[in-house]
């Protein structure tokens, strides 16, 4: 069974600082990987996705993530945090073969300090 581990349930950064949210996956077959963001009392919004091809994926709101097969990682980064980035972030995975449903990590709450 595949799983997703998000290191750190809560990350706090200063406004303008680098944002790094960590995600590691376990999958015996090639994965499709996703990052979602959830603002308070809202649904999940797709930030970016990795399916095949380029391993550095750019998403919305200035976020990007890099798929590293050797490290089984898909960390989310943003060069400069903005107050509006404060939210809950979920990493999720499905297998490329499509034989498992979407599996979410436990989430990381990002706080941005002025």
Partner 1 sequence: DTEVTQTPKHLVMGMTNKKSLKCEQHMGHRAMYWYKQKAKKPPELMFVYSYEKLSINESVPSRFSPECPNSSLLNLHLHALQPEDSALYLCASSQDYRLGEQYFGPGTRLTVT
Name which of 42 and 61 has its Cβ closer to partner 1.
Answer: 42
| Residue with smaller CB distance to partner 1, 41 or 70 | 41
* DSSP-derived 3-state class of residue 113: strand
Q: Do 54 and 48 touch, CB atoms closer than 8 A?
A: no
DSSP sequence for 14-66? ETTSPEEEEEEEE-SS-EEEEEEEE-TTS-EEEEEEE-SS-SEEE-GGG-EEE
Find the shortest distance in angstroms from Cβ 113 to partner 1: 20
Nearer of residues 70 and 99 to partner 1, judged by Cβ: 99
DSSP 52-79: SS-SEEE-GGG-EEEEETTTTEEEEEES
Write down the least CB distance from residue 109 to partner 1, Å: 8
* Least Å from the CB of residue 34 to partner 1: 6
Minimum CB separation of residue 29 from partner 1 in Å reads 13
The residues of the shown chain that bind partner 1, judged by CB under 8 A, are 32, 34, 36, 41-46, 49, 90, 94, 98-102, 104-107, 109
């Amino acid at each position: 069974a595949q799983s997703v581990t998000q290191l750190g349930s809560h990350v706090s950064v200063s406004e303008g600082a680098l944002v790094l949210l960590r995600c590691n996956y376990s999958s015996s077959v090639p994965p499709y990987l996703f990052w979602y963001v959830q603002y308070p009392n809202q649904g999940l919004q797709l930030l970016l996705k990795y399916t095949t091809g380029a391993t550095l994926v750019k998403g919305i709101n200035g976020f990007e993530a890099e798929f590293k097969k050797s490290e089984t990682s898909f960390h989310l980064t943003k060069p400069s945090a903005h107050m509006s980035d404060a939210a809950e972030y979920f990493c999720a995975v499905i297998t490329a073969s499509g034989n498992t449903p979407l599996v979410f990590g436990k989430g990381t709450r990002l706080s941005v300090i002025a």
